[in-house]
Amino acid sequence: MSVITGARMVTPEGVVEDGWLRVDGGRIAALGQGTGPEPTTPTDRDLAGRWLVPGFVDMHTHGGGGGTVVGADPEAIRTFVATHRRHGTTSIVASLVSGAYDALEHDVRALAELTDDGLIAGVHLEGPWISPVRKGAHDATTLRTPEPAAVERLLTAGRGAVRMVTLAPELDHGLDAVRAVVAAGAVAAVGHTDATYDVTRQAVDAGATVATHLFNAMAPVHHRDPGPIVALLEDERVTVELILDGVHLHPAVARMVRAATASAAGHARIALVTDAMDATDIGDGDYVLGGLAVRVEDGVARLVEGGSIAGSTLTMDRAFRFAVDQAGFTVPEAVRATSATPARLLGIDGRTGALATGLDADLVVLGADLTVEAVMTRGKWSTP
């Protein structure tokens, strides 16, 4: 049992000053304000006014700490998970880049086992069903159209662990692939796409509910040809991923998206993601992503050939701070975008993503400057 007091606590209902929270059996057993209903229970940790927020949920990331998702080596995955956990991410999805079908099937099967073990929260297929025109840091030789048999093959290999599939709906069989992904219980995401506005709307009508890193690897907005960005941004059924590292998006664009997605329900349509690669927390140097050579300089990852941005070296705590300091988010809005919204999309909101009784005790302590001071995962403390 663990009791936390003196917290500036962000709950689904809002900010609770002088909050307390009790953990028992790895879950949140109770929470409230002031001394609480259990004054005889000793305090394990007095936060003295520091922020207490739910653990971050990253639904799009490729590696970290030198560990890469490609190959699905268990030790590499443990390194990847531990790296992001130090930065407050307590639930993480393993994102695979485009590859040959045999390699992808192998990795999906292996990652499904690690999902069963609870190490990761599922698998994200970012390709190979993406546009060669908007491929970004994907090997062009591995790109395919989403033939129904191939889609079924990889979804079946995941045994329900494939949580999200990013695809370009304008490809042959693209809209059918959206329907197949949704029918399998996964999220269909529109990304790495050259789709028109109309085709993108058809994809949303077919069940697509996520925009993979909005603006990046998409046809740009033109006043006579709005393309996928406008279609995704204006539809309230769609949640948009943002990579807030100061490289992928200008702060003004992030502020515009925040304003554009405001509704009576708040800013529930934004999910911050890292799109991080294995160089995260390692440093500058030469790396490989999906078989392509990548050079990281000043923390920015780019393909050696062509110079396309190749993921990021971002961590979720940095994205959180960027959202508040430069993109106009309030702290509760940043909490929603890093926890509740991605947890809902992944279907794990009944387990994590908020400070609420009965959920896993996945917690992050933030200082006044929003830096991570401590992390609790399923009731166990660690420090960065």
Q: Let me know how many helices (H) and strands (E) the chain has, helices first.
A: 10, 21
Compute CA distances 3 → 9, 46, 55, 291, whole Å.
13, 9, 17, 47
Secondary structure class of 297 (helix, strand, coil): strand
Q: Is 248 annotated as a binding residue?
A: yes
Q: Is 216 annotated as a binding residue?
A: yes
Q: Is 34 annotated as a binding residue?
A: no
Q: How many C-alpha atoms does 304 have within 13 Å on its Cβ side? A: 10
Q: Is 310 annotated as a binding residue?
A: yes
Q: Which residues are catalytic?
A: 275
Give burial (CB, 10 Å; 0-12/13-18/19+) of 93: buried
DSSP state for residue 128 in the 8-state scheme: S
Q: CA 269, CA 341: separation in Å to the nearest integer?
A: 7
Q: Is 309 annotated as a binding residue?
A: yes
Q: Is 343 annotated as a binding residue?
A: no
Tokens in use for 277? 């690669």
Give burial (CB, 10 Å; 0-12/13-18/19+) of 358: exposed
Residue 63 contacts residue 41 (beta carbons within 8 Å): no
Q: Is 170 annotated as a binding residue?
A: no
DSSP state for residue 328 in the 8-state scheme: -
Nearest in space to 135 (alpha carbons), one of 191, 178, 62 = 191
DSSP state for residue 254 in the 8-state scheme: H
Give burial (CB, 10 Å; 0-12/13-18/19+) of 378: middle
Q: Is 293 annotated as a binding residue?
A: no
Residue 51 contacts residue 360 (beta carbons within 8 Å): no
Residue type, 37: P
Q: Is 374 annotated as a binding residue?
A: no
DSSP state for residue 220 in the 8-state scheme: P
| Binding site feature residues | 126, 137, 192, 213, 216-217, 224, 248, 309-311
| Binding site feature residues for Zn(2+) | 126, 192, 213
| Binding site feature residues for substrate | 137, 216-217, 224, 248, 309-311
